[in-house]
């Protein structure tokens, strides 16, 4: 594998779709660091920390396209067009996303826009929030005594596409991780309970995971909506008995 995209670049330029991980800059992959340092343009999201952005060359153009709850600073079609336009100027563009770009990051949509314009690209995976934030909270996603499977679910309940299959989620030996679901916690709680998951099922909300501001709130499913009222975005919601291990296994001590 090449150390830089130059040998792969076309005359139109090149796009590196890079996962920035869950927060701690030390969790970046080696390849991600290389791409950030050599980029001509970095198109980045709200969840990318300043420590990570500081790795870029002083000459790199920084383009902020952040999104937060109920507000998109730059609409997705415009982000797609920015990537196309910058690459067509012959530049090496790094599209930098928190977590992993293929896990609820719309990375696939952005690459489709590049394919339509015959622009060369690569994907540099990152540690997704469900893996990184739970690890920093001392919550193993699977455990022989607690959960034999895990599922990642978008918290944007039926905003686009079909409704979530709630009966399939309401399993006692299962770990559920909801992304972007803080505002939807009352509906998550109600749908899981009505489909048979016990109100006593342990839950956790991990706020600003894998950062010095990390906070972990725990309680039963019956109190999930109440816990959500005490948390701020970005937060990850974890449902399942593995969250009971937080008190025993918590190792990360935020400043």
The 3-state secondary structure of 203-248, one letter per residue? EEEEECCCCCCCEEEEEEHHHHHHHHCCCCCCEEEEECHHHHHHHH
67 is catalytic: yes
Q: Which of 34, 45, 100, 208 is catalytic?
A: 45
34 is catalytic: no
Q: Are 222 and 238 in contact (CB under 8 A)?
A: no
CA distances from 236 to 116, 141, 228, 232 (A): 34, 13, 10, 10
Q: Which residues pair with 238 in a beta bridge?
A: 177, 204
Q: Taking the CB of residue 150, how many other CB atoms lie within 10 A of it? A: 18
Cα 212 from Cα 103, distance rounded (Å): 23
Cα 163 from Cα 157, distance rounded (Å): 7
Cα 143 from Cα 236, distance rounded (Å): 19
Cα 133 from Cα 236, distance rounded (Å): 8
Identify which of 83, 221, 207 has the alpha carbon closest to the alpha carbon of residue 133.
207
Q: Which of 31, 67, 85, 183 is catalytic?
A: 67
Catalytic center residues? 45, 67
């Amino acid at each position: 594998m090449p150390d830089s995209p130059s040998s792969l670049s076309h005359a139109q330029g090149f796009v590196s779709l890079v996962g920035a991980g869950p927060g701690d800059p030390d969790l970046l992959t080696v390849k991600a660091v290389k791409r950030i340092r050599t980029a001509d343009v970095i198109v980045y999201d709200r969840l990318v920390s300043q420590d990570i952005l500081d790795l870029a060359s002083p000459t790199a153009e920084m383009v902020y396209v952040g999104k937060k709850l109920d507000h998109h600073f730059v609409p997705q079609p415009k982000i797609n067009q920015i990537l196309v336009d910058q690459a067509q100027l012959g530049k090496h563009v790094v599209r930098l996303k928190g977590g992993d770009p293929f896990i609820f990051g719309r990375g696939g949509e952005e690459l489709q826009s590049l394919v339509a314009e015959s622009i060369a690209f690569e994907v540099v995976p990152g540690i997704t929030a469900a893996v990184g934030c739970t690890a920093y909270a001392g919550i193993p996603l699977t455990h022989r005594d607690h959960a034999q499977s895990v599922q990642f679910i978008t918290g944007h309940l039926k905003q686009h596409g079909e409704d979530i299959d709630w009966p399939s989620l309401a399993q006692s030996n299962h770990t559920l991780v909801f992304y972007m679901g803080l505002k939807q916690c009352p509906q998550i709680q109600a749908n899981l309970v009505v489909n048979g998951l016990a109100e006593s099922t342990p839950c956790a909300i991990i706020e600003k995971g894998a950062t010095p501001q990390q906070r972990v709130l725990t309680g039963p499913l019956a109190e999930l909506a109440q816990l959500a009222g005490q948390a701020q975005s970005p937060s990850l919601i974890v449902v399942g008995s593995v969250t009971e291990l937080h008190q025993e296994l918590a190792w990360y001590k935020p400043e």
